[in-house]
Amino acid sequence: MLSQQRHVSASNPRKKSNHWIVREKTLLQPETSAEFYRDWRRYLRSGPERYQALLRLGGPKLGHLFQTDVGFGLLGELLVALADHVRPADRLVVLGILRSLANTRRFALNLSLMSYAERESCRNLFRKLQAMGTPRPMQEGLSQEEQGLERQPGGLQEEERLLQELVGLYQVD
């Protein structure tokens, strides 16, 4: 009985701790860039977790958090997370994130300090985003809505304009 109590009492704190960490991961709402950086390092270990956190926060919130500066090395990590996990359904949100990051102070400096691997991830991200915007040939007998091609009038053109602007800002070849 004593060993069972030890096991139970030993497992309960872990369960509480694990529950707290899982709860913490879902509630990440940093108010400062320092809080974001701490949470990014402490709680968001995998690429998919990081990607989902970026999508949840979105461009406006990230732009607010990093209005002064994106911490050294963080811009590259953000771009790698986006490049490795971007999906067509997320294209517009990702473009918004990229625009917000490009509007931060010292963006050009942070861009110039990225490693070769981070620059390659950035190029790959923009290649993927460009490919996602390329109109696909119509499948015979299916409407645009059935193929998932429905967009607001001018929406795709506006996305493409934004994408081209970002290609220049991120100095992608």
2 & 50 share domain: no
Give me the residue label for tokens 């999906």: 87
103 & 36 share domain: yes
Spatial neighbors of 88 by CB under 8 A, at least 6 apart, are: 132
pLDDT in tens, 27-54: 578 999 999 999 999 999 899 999 999 9
pLDDT in tens, 116-155: 999 999 999 999 999 998 665 554 554 444 434 444 556 7
125 & 44 share domain: yes
Residue 111 inside a domain? The answer is yes
Give ∠ CA 77-80-86 in degrees, rounded to 5.
135
Integer-rounded Cα radius of gyration of the chain: 20
95 & 164 share domain: yes
Residue 148 inside a domain? The answer is no
Instruction: State the chain's mean pLDDT as an integer.
Output: 81
19: tokens are 């529950």
113 & 44 share domain: yes
36 & 107 share domain: yes
Question: Does residue 75 surpass a pLDDT of 70?
Answer: yes
93 & 157 share domain: yes
21 & 41 share domain: no
69 & 128 share domain: yes
Number of compact structural domains in the chain? 2
| Structural domain harbouring 23 | 1-30
